[in-house]
Amino acid sequence: MTPPAELSRAVTHYLSVADRLAPGLVTGCYVVGSAALGDWRPEVSDIDVVAVVGRAAGERELRRLSLLHKLGNLRAAGRALARRQPHLPGTVNAVFVAAGDLGEPVTRIRPVASHSGPSFRRGQGFDVNPVMWTVLRERGIPVRGPAPATLGLDPEPSLLRSWTLDQLRGHWARYASRALSARPPRRRLQSPYGLALAYALSPPRLHRTVVTGEVISKEAAGAYALDTFDTRWHPLIQLALAHRRGTPGPALDPSEVPRLTGEFIQEVIATVPQST
């Protein structure tokens, strides 16, 4: 799959900054996430990558990787500022994995580090999980390094369903409960309304994975949700899709959208099959 030109430029720039900060450290780079699933939208999507580290990362290298998150994404921040966008589409978020660990079962891999949004974490990386490793092995886009199929990756397919169920019943159940409260969650520069619409399509994605074993995009999750769940949720699903596409959608009271999203997520979780 050939990535969009704008995405390729962003990742190439990011790697050039990495090479200046820590020459020879990043020996592989693979685009995953929405871009690998054919659903990357330059006005709303981040760029998720798995970066392979070719040597031991000591204190100096870790400090450079932390700096990379800031310097490598200055262009995306500048564009967002010029457009007065409350979020930073086109930001490269990375998880760094040692080359020698790539062949390990994914749940046994300890990431070198990761950065997403404003956070840099040493020894942690959420994207090292059965879902993202499935995307990496099957659809990852190599920017630097050999094809993902040659890396000997083990996404542990026997754990895909249980890991996905844990996400639904853990993280997403907690978000749904908070969305129903008097003070629904928000993020820096992102209202509860915007966050709810950004989140609404993720639980149906996981529902589909539990049911079929497939990993699908948010756009495909919207179509799946329209086919699968009660029609009373259709205006919310259609609005979430329109929000992602940057097009007009159904008119819903913005103050009600977080509550509706919380109720929808609870129904998604409640309808997950106990066995497949």
Cα–Cα dist 40/46, whole Å: 8
pLDDT for res 75: 61
CB burial class (10 A; 0-12, 13-18, 19+) of residue 225? buried
- What does DSSP assign to residue 105? B
Residues of the chain with pLDDT under 70: 73-90, 275-276
pLDDT for res 164: 97
pTM: 0.90
pLDDT for res 274: 73
Pick the CATH number of 5-150 from 3.30.460, 3.40.630, 3.30.420, 1.10.1200: 3.30.460
pLDDT for res 41: 85
Distance of CA 239 to the CA centre of its chain: 20
pLDDT for res 116: 84
pLDDT for res 81: 44
Nearest to 171 by CA among 128, 134, 206: 206
Q: Could you tell me the CA-to-CA distances from 75 to 6, 43, 71 in Å, in that order? A: 12, 14, 9
Coil, strand or helix at 157: helix
C-alpha count within 13 angstroms, C-beta hemisphere, residue 51? 27
- Residue 193: partners with Cβ closer than 8 Å, 6 or more residues away: 254, 255, 257, 258
Cα–Cα dist 235/22, whole Å: 49
